[in-house]
A and B are shown apart, each in its own frame.
Chain A
Amino acid sequence: MSRLRRISMEGDRASVQGAVRGRLAFAMIVFLCLYAGMGLRLFALTVLPDVSEPSVEIGRADQGASDALHYGRADIVDRNGILLATTLPVASLYVDAALVASPDRLTRDLLAVFPDLSHDDVLAKLSSGKRFVWLKRGLTPAQHQAANAIGDPALRFQDETRRFYPQGDLFAHALGYVGVDGQGLEGLERLENSTLGLAGEPLVTTLDVRVQYAAKKALRKAVTSFTALGGVAMVADVRSGEILAAVSYPDFDPHFAASANRSQIFNRFATGVYEMGSTFKIFSTAAYLEKDGIRLSDRFDATKPIQKGRFQIRDYHAQKRVMTLPEVFMHSSNIGSALMGEAVGTQALREFYRNLGFLNDYKAAGIDAAQGLYPDPWRDLSTLTVSYGHGLAVTPVHLMNGFVTLVGDGTDKHIRLRPLEDTHKDSIDVRVVDEKTVDRMRRLLRLTVAKGTGSKADVTGYAVGGKTGTAEKSAVRGYDRSRKLSSFIAAFPAHDPRYAVLVIVDEPNGRKDTYGYATGGWVAAPAVGEIITAMTSIYSLPPVDDAVDAAFYEPLLPLVRDEKGMPYHQTNNTTFVEFDQ
């Protein structure tokens, strides 16, 4: 029994010893694992490379997370992908004035880099003791480098972005500009603010840098040489309604829009509302041609002015005779146009102008033009004056859109600054003018340039068709004869127009070489000719055959007989027109 007990006790002791040994082994393994883990971690942290704190560059890359750089506002490009507006990273300089040891010395160093800053202003900022004071925002790379080279620890740089317009003032009014907070304030920048703010693909416009420059160059020459207040030049694709150029002069540097004066900021093509004068005869003539049973040989008595109450309608270049419709058009007879308007009727003329968009404001992709002014109430006398372009005021955008409709295919193309998406193409091709009227108008326009008042716009081989306009500007009472608005609107080639060009010069003054005249034919027509000449080179446009051109408009001229009795169209005078369609 005792032996058995002893055996049992020894067995218990062994069991306990085994359990202790096992626990010790377990604890040892656990600690070994812990130490091994710590060792490996130490190895990883100290020996293996590139696992330390991420660098600033890496942090920036991780924040980007996408392939492209996004600066918060998309680029704007022209129809060929030329950059018109972009957003660039810039550095801005501020100072921690609490760290400035010697304000006088630092002011001297800063003024050497930024001579445009005021000494007293900089000194006051550096002496203010404030922890954050802007010194100069939007530094150029050279300024950034020079400021950094000063080496003062109080000077700090803040990364910012800035809207940059590589073309300078060339597209000032079409593109507009942005404010300090990056929000679009004018032009495309304002109208497409939400799209541009998405910072995605560049916003493509219909503008063409080359045509825009050609238009600006011609307009600037016209405005400066006739000492005018300003002007407008526009070019549009007649077939698509895309605006290739839109210039308002004088213009301004969009980088410093705040320092521009009112005349520079004023967008004449979108917000300038003008009585256009004789260029509006295009539309009254078209309205007349839309009537049933109209013949081009219809005659209008322009022998004497029209007297309506206390108002008198007279011709600028009075022919004082009965004229046919082409003669009325090419001699720009106010009397003849008023008679046409009277024949159309007040209701029909107003409806025609409404269909052309003249009585409404104008909104299209990238364009937001002001609403025109029209007679209200619209009396019969208004119909007469509106027929030759007085009493109804529209913006150049309205005029160009109506003209494109009239010389294109008769449908409203809705001129615009953004390409039209395929899905929307059918929605705007609303017919406004009959095709037959379109053809007749093209011939009349070509006749006006070939043999009439618009001859200075003609470009040999390109069959320009257009109409001059010289409107007296309204004064407090009536019209001021000394203040004119001279314009010319044209399409080419006239038999199948591809492009429309408009030039308006505000208050030009006659010159010696123009015999004191400052009319549309002297002022705006040559500018249109220059733009068209430039465009023929830019787009390598093929010339029109002279015979085709002559056959297009000469039938409108009087038919006479030579010595042998053979009939021909008299090209040096117009007294009678046999041609009719």
Chain B
Amino acid sequence: MSEYVTNKRVSPRVPMPIIAMAVLSLIAACVLGFMLLWTGQRVQQYEAKISSQNANVLAEQERIRILRAEWARLNTPERLDLMLQKAEQQGYYESEGGDDADDTPAQDTRRGALDHDENVRRVRGLGGSPVEERE
């Protein structure tokens, strides 16, 4: 009995709170480490995504640049002039008798005749002339 008592007194046992704290610290360190790693991974993923998006933007800018140059090339005054002359030679702009000012449909200014929907139908050729309908 006395030996037991003596042994117990001499043994350098670590107090329980310290052990508990150490374990908790270890767990916390592991959790925090994992979270840190996870965050790091997320950051890397987002950075990769941003870089990818930037690469796409650059590629689009490059395409826009080429398209702008192409657009300017296709719209040079000389080319447009040649196209116009060609179109005129082929008679694209010949009158079909409908471009005289007198041939423009008269707008009925009587009360109610300027109804918006009717005018839209008339313009679209859906409802005929509102003047004719009334007459």
List A residues at the B interface (Cβ < 8 Å). 7, 10-11, 14-15, 18-19, 22, 29, 36-37, 40, 44, 48-51, 54-55, 57-58, 60-62, 64, 67-69, 82-83, 86, 88-89, 164, 166-168, 170, 209-210, 212-213, 217
Q: Are B37 and A44 in contact (CB under 8 A)?
A: yes
> Distance in Å from the Cβ of B53 to the closest Cβ of chain A?
8
List B residues at the A interface (Cβ < 8 Å). 3, 6-7, 10-14, 26, 30, 33-34, 37, 41, 44-45, 48-49, 51-55, 57-59, 61-62, 65-66, 68-73, 76-78, 81
Q: Which single member of A10, A11, A14, A44 contacts B41 (CB below 8 Å)? A: A44
**Once bound together, how far apart are the Cα atoms of A327 and B57, in whole Å?**
68
From known contacts A40-B33, A49-B45, A83-B68, infer whether A14 and B58 are also in contact, taking CB-CB under 8 Å: no
Q: Which single member of B11, B61, B66, B70 contacts A14 (CB below 8 Å)? A: B11
Q: Are A82 and B72 in contact (CB under 8 A)?
A: yes
Count: A-B pairs, CB below 8 Å: 106
> Distance in Å from the Cβ of B10 to the closest Cβ of chain A?
4
Q: Which single member of B33, B37, B52 contacts A58 (CB below 8 Å)? A: B52
**Once bound together, how far apart are the Cα atoms of A88 and B71, in whole Å?**
14
Chain A residues, CB < 8 A from B41: 44, 48, 51
> Distance in Å from the Cβ of B13 to the closest Cβ of chain A?
7
From known contacts A14-B7, A15-B11, infer whether A213 and B51 are also in contact, taking CB-CB under 8 Å: no
Q: Are A18 and B11 in contact (CB under 8 A)?
A: yes
**Once bound together, how far apart are the Cα atoms of A330 and B16, in whole Å?**
119
**Once bound together, how far apart are the Cα atoms of A68 and B71, in whole Å?**
20
Chain A residues, CB < 8 A from B77: 170, 209-210, 212-213
From known contacts A49-B45, A69-B62, A210-B77, infer whether A11 and B10 are also in contact, taking CB-CB under 8 Å: yes
Q: Are A167 and B72 in contact (CB under 8 A)?
A: yes
Chain A residues, CB < 8 A from B34: 40
Q: Are B76 and A170 in contact (CB under 8 A)?
A: yes
**Once bound together, how far apart are the Cα atoms of A124 and B33, in whole Å?**
64
**Once bound together, how far apart are the Cα atoms of A86 and B45, in whole Å?**
36
Q: Are B7 and A18 in contact (CB under 8 A)?
A: no
From known contacts A11-B7, A36-B30, infer whether A166 and B65 are also in contact, taking CB-CB under 8 Å: no
Q: Are A170 and B78 in contact (CB under 8 A)?
A: yes
Q: Are B58 and A61 in contact (CB under 8 A)?
A: yes
Identify 9 residue pairs between A and B in the complex whose beta-carbon atoms are under 8 Å apart, listed by A's number.
A7-B3, A14-B7, A18-B11, A22-B14, A40-B33, A40-B37, A58-B48, A83-B72, A213-B81
**Once bound together, how far apart are the Cα atoms of A213 and B79, in whole Å?**
11
Q: Are B55 and A61 in contact (CB under 8 A)?
A: yes
Q: Across the interface, name the chain A residue whose C-beta is closest to B23.
A: A29
Q: Across the interface, name the chain B residue whose C-beta is closest to A62.
A: B51
Q: Are B68 and A69 in contact (CB under 8 A)?
A: no
Q: Are B81 and A58 in contact (CB under 8 A)?
A: no
Q: Which single member of B12, B52, B54, B73 contacts A166 (CB below 8 Å)? A: B73
Chain A residues, CB < 8 A from B55: 57-58, 60-61
From known contacts A11-B7, A61-B58, A83-B72, infer whether A88 and B65 are also in contact, taking CB-CB under 8 Å: yes
Q: Are A54 and B69 in contact (CB under 8 A)?
A: no
> Distance in Å from the Cβ of A85 to the closest Cβ of chain B?
9
Chain B residues, CB < 8 A from A11: 6-7, 10-11
Interchain residue pairs A-B with the least CB separation, the first 9: A11-B10, A166-B72, A61-B54, A213-B77, A57-B55, A61-B55, A58-B51, A83-B72, A166-B73
Chain B residues, CB < 8 A from A89: 62, 66
Q: Which single member of B14, B44, B52, B72 contacts A57 (CB below 8 Å)? A: B52
Q: Are A14 and B10 in contact (CB under 8 A)?
A: yes
> Distance in Å from the Cβ of A531 to the closest Cβ of chain B?
13
Q: Across the interface, name the chain B residue whose C-beta is closest to A216.
A: B78
From known contacts A58-B52, A62-B51, infer whether A69 and B58 are also in contact, taking CB-CB under 8 Å: yes
Q: Across the interface, name the chain B residue whose C-beta is closest to A29.
A: B26
> Distance in Å from the Cβ of B40 to the closest Cβ of chain A?
8
From known contacts A50-B45, A57-B55, A61-B51, infer whether A15 and B72 are also in contact, taking CB-CB under 8 Å: no
Q: Are A64 and B58 in contact (CB under 8 A)?
A: yes
**Once bound together, how far apart are the Cα atoms of A209 and B79, in whole Å?**
13
Chain B residues, CB < 8 A from A62: 51, 54
Q: Are B11 and A10 in contact (CB under 8 A)?
A: no
Q: Which single member of A7, A29, A166, A167 contacts B6 (CB below 8 Å)? A: A7
> Distance in Å from the Cβ of A63 to the closest Cβ of chain B?
9
Chain B residues, CB < 8 A from A60: 55, 58
Q: Are B68 and A86 in contact (CB under 8 A)?
A: yes
**Candidate in B7, B41, B59 with the most chain A CB atoms within 10 angstroms:** B41
Q: Are B54 and A51 in contact (CB under 8 A)?
A: no
Q: Across the interface, name the chain A residue whose C-beta is closest to B22.
A: A29
**Once bound together, how far apart are the Cα atoms of A89 and B62, in whole Å?**
8
**Once bound together, how far apart are the Cα atoms of A88 and B65, in whole Å?**
7
> Distance in Å from the Cβ of B108 to the closest Cβ of chain A?
33
**Once bound together, how far apart are the Cα atoms of A18 and B70, in whole Å?**
84
**Once bound together, how far apart are the Cα atoms of A570 and B53, in whole Å?**
78
**Once bound together, how far apart are the Cα atoms of A70 and B53, in whole Å?**
18
Q: Across the interface, name the chain B residue whose C-beta is closest to A167.
A: B76
Chain A residues, CB < 8 A from B68: 83, 86
> Distance in Å from the Cβ of B33 to the closest Cβ of chain A?
7
Chain B residues, CB < 8 A from A48: 41, 45
> Distance in Å from the Cβ of B76 to the closest Cβ of chain A?
5
**Once bound together, how far apart are the Cα atoms of A157 and B120, in whole Å?**
58
Q: Are B13 and A18 in contact (CB under 8 A)?
A: yes
Chain A residues, CB < 8 A from B7: 10-11, 14
> Distance in Å from the Cβ of A196 to the closest Cβ of chain B?
16
Chain B residues, CB < 8 A from A164: 69
**Once bound together, how far apart are the Cα atoms of A116 and B84, in whole Å?**
33
From known contacts A11-B7, A50-B48, A51-B44, infer whether A69 and B76 are also in contact, taking CB-CB under 8 Å: no
Chain A residues, CB < 8 A from B62: 69, 89
